[in-house]
Structure 1
Amino acid sequence: MAGNVTTDFAQMEASAKHVEDVNSQLQAELTRIQGAVDSAVHWKGDASGAFHGVMVEFQEASKRLNNTLQDIAGAIRQSGIGYTNAEEAIQQSIMKAGASGDLGAPSSLNIPTA
C-alpha cells in the first residue's frame, strides 16, 4: 500500500526552483569545461578530430540535459498550480454543499448515535 503524499503550492514551487538552481549550477560547470576544452583549439592530428567529435556529442547532451531539467521544473510548477486549483475547487464544492442546507438540523435518516 502506498503512503500518503501531501504537498502544497509553496513546496512545489520550492522544488521547481531547486531544479532550476541545480540546472544553473550544472550549466555553469559545463560551460567551464567547454572553456577549458576550447583553449586547446591548437591541437592537431587524428586524435584531435576524434576529440572534436566527442565534444560535439558532449554539447548536444548538455543541451538535452538543460532542456530536460527545464521541462521537469516546469512540470513541477504546473503540478503545483493544478494541485492548488483542485484544492480550491474542492473547497468551493464543500462550501456550496454546506450552504445548500441546514447542517445543524436533525437528520431524517435513521442513524444510530450510540
Structure 2
Amino acid sequence: MSSEAPGKSTLIVTSGLSRNAIIIRLEGELDVTALQVLREHLQRIWDLPPKPFLILDLGELSFCDSMGMNELVDIMQRCEARGTRLLLGGVQGVMARVLSITGLRHAFEVFAQLDDALRTAVAQPG
C-alpha cells in the first residue's frame, strides 16, 4: 500500500506485512498538511485483524511538527487498545531530537535502526 498527499504535503506512506508485524514507512514531512494522508492509510491498517506489532519506520522523516507528534501519540494509544506493541524504528536525527525535546522519548519503544525493531518483533512469538 502507498499513499501520497494531494497538494502541498510532502509525506509518503507505505506499508507491508511481516510474520507478526505491520510495518509502516513514513518519508518526508509529518505535519498538519500530511495528517489526512497518514490517517487514511492507518484506517486501512486498523480495519485489518490486529498483529502483535506495529512498526513505524521513521528513518526517512525530515520534519515532524506538534500535530505530527500528537498523531504518533494517538497511534500509540490505538495500538495499546488493540493489544499491539508499537515500535518506532529508524529514530535518529530529527525524530530523535523531537522525541527528546517533547519529553516523549520514553513513552515509545524507540530503536535507532529499523532492523533492531524488526528483530524485536521477530524474536517474539506471533
- In proportion to residue count, which structure has more strand? 2
- In proportion to residue count, which structure has more helix? 1
Normalising by structure 2, report the TM-score. 0.22
Normalising by structure 1, report the TM-score. 0.24
- Which structure is larger by alpha-carbon Rg, 1 or 2? 1
